[in-house]
Amino acid sequence: MGKMSDIIKVSKDLLKKYPLCDRCLGRFFGKLGYGWSNEERGRAIKRAILMDIHKRIRENDEHAIKELRGLIENIGPIGQDLYSLYFYDNPVFKKCAVCGGEIDGFIEGLSSQISSRLKELEINTFLIGARVDKKICMMEERIKSEFMIKYGESIKNEIKREIGKKVQSIGGFRVDFSMPDVVVEVSFPSREIRYQIRSMRIFGKYKKTRRGLSITKSGANIIEKLAKEFEADNIVLHTIKRDEKNVRAIGDGMLFIADIKGAKRRNIGKKLIRGNDTIIEIEKIEKKGPEEIREKPLTRLYRCFIFCENEISREAIEAVNALRNRAVEQYFNKKHRISIIKEIKCRRINGNIAECLVLIPEKLYVKELVSGTRTTPSISSMLENRCSCIEGDLLYLGG
């Protein structure tokens, strides 16, 4: 016996015992042939079985007519016309022993449901995952081992592949195995669908044109604006560098990194979100991978408006400007830090008012650099005066 007749013989034995829909029968031979659906495989096998029976009926093989009657309930509607040639009653088709007759409707229905949902979600790539009721998987395995089926595909695989193909063609979305925007998990036969939307990492800038906004308030403001923009359930703000309550962040603004979870709007590019006294600038959006946030040391440029207790002398201003490239020691939270002032340019405005532009490393506290609190040397010490930064502006923050 050649291979083809093996397939037909096994299939006929299968169908004598179990009612199987075209797709579930074809799936037992899913790894044979290429470029066909399991439905096509199942239909081809059933047709070959029916043609063989018909041939034998025409050759007056009396077993053949019995075989047709015995098989009709399990082989399904594809045998209806041939059956009607020889019998007057209407056969009652049994439900598929594996899928209960649900799989075709499941694939069709869920594919269109998922496609429309994905359109609302503004995603580009997806991946289908499937959960199949345990009893169904066990039934499938039982039949496979009972009939020693070697070239079968699993129902789980078929559901994933077929829904994936349909969603791709209906909605124009792309399957992505490594980093999909959304993983759609379908449950068979319950028709439950779960969407796990990949979070995105936003890199942006935050400008504050008014003093007095607390760090907490800045954070809440960014979260609120991003949640609205991305229609997202959950925003995790990782950092805002470097926010201080009484410092405006003009110029380039501060840097923030946030993760957006469950975004319903994703196709957002570079963008400015304006609020009262604040501007949020979205610079870059990345699909979130497993990697952690990498920190790089930053440099800050400040403008300080300085008020001193006593008159500021011209010579003292020169001494302050000589702090350029000097090391400054600060003690905070039991930590001792030495930082180099990269650039400093001060001028006396009048009497006891001065203005400084200072370019300093990220870790150096600027107000204390002015006042001298746990800081040596400081602007106060160089001026031999008690000074404080009464207004500060962050003009630049960068690498």
Residues that bind Zn ion (CB under 5 A): 21, 24, 96, 98-99
35 φ/ψ sector (left φ>0, alpha ψ -120 to 50, else beta): left
* 350: Cα separation from own chain's centroid: 57
The dihedral over CA atoms of 205, 210, 214, 217, expressed in degrees to the nearest 10, equals: -60
Tokens of residue 62, six digits = 């009396």
Taking the complex as a whole, the smallest distance from the CB of residue 24 to Zn ion amounts, in Å, to: 3
Distance between CA atoms of residues 85 and 256, nearest Å: 77
**Nearer Cβ to Zn ion, position 101 or 372?**
101
How far apart are CB 162 and Zn ion at their closest, in Å?
A: 13
Which residues, including other chains, have CB under 8 Å from residue 233's CB and lie 6 or more apart? 227, 261, 262
Least Å distance, CB 23 to Zn ion, is 6
In whole angstroms, the minimum distance from the beta carbon of 143 to Zn ion comes to: 11
Q: What is the DSSP string of 30-94?
A: TTSSSS--HHHHHHHHHHHHHHHHHHHHHTT-HHHHHHHHHHHHHH-GGGHHHHHHH-SSPPPPP
Tell me which residue has tokens 């990194």.
Answer: 257
Please report which helix (H) or strand (E) contains residue 167, including its range. helix 155-171
3-class SS at 187? strand
Show the tokens assigned to 349: 């405005």
Q: Identify the residue whose tokens are 């059933």.
A: 46
Q: CA-to-CA distance for 332 and 325, rounded, in angstroms?
A: 22
Nearest distance in Å: CB 255, Zn ion: 56
Terminal Cα-to-Cα distance of the chain (whole angstroms): 76
CB of 13 to Zn ion, least distance (A): 17
Question: At closest approach, how far in Å is the CB of 75 from Zn ion?
Answer: 13
Q: Which is nearer to Zn ion, 94 or 342 (CB)?
A: 94
**Closer residue to Zn ion in complex, CB, 143/379:** 143
Q: Which is nearer to Zn ion, 42 or 372 (CB)?
A: 42
Of residues 147 and 305, the one with the C-beta less far from Zn ion? 147
Identity of the residue, 94 or 363, whose beta carbon is nearer to Zn ion in the bound complex: 94
Query: Shortest Cβ distance from residue 33 to Zn ion (Å)?
Result: 19
Smallest distance, Zn ion to C-beta of residue 72, A: 17
Q: Identify whether the C-beta of residue 208 lies closer than 8 Å to the C-beta of residue 277.
A: yes
Supply the minimum distance, in Å, between the C-beta of residue 189 and Zn ion.
Answer: 10
Cβ at position 153, least distance to Zn ion in Å: 13
Contact assessment for residue 34 and residue 93, using Cβ atoms and an 8 Å cutoff: no
Asked if residue 364 lies in contact with residue 298, where contact means CB atoms within 8 angstroms, the answer is no
Closer CB to Zn ion, 43 or 201, in the complex: 43
Q: Which residues of 317-352 are buried (b: 16+ CB within 10 A; e: fewer)?
A: bebbeebeeeebebeeeeeeeebebeebebebeeeb
Which is nearer to Zn ion, 105 or 275 (by Cβ)? Answer: 105
Considering beta carbons, is residue 159 or 370 the nearer one to Zn ion? 159
- Of the pair 24, 159, the CB lying nearest Zn ion is at 24
Q: From CA 245, how far away is CA 212, in angstroms rounded?
A: 5
Nearer to Zn ion, 19 or 164 (CB): 19
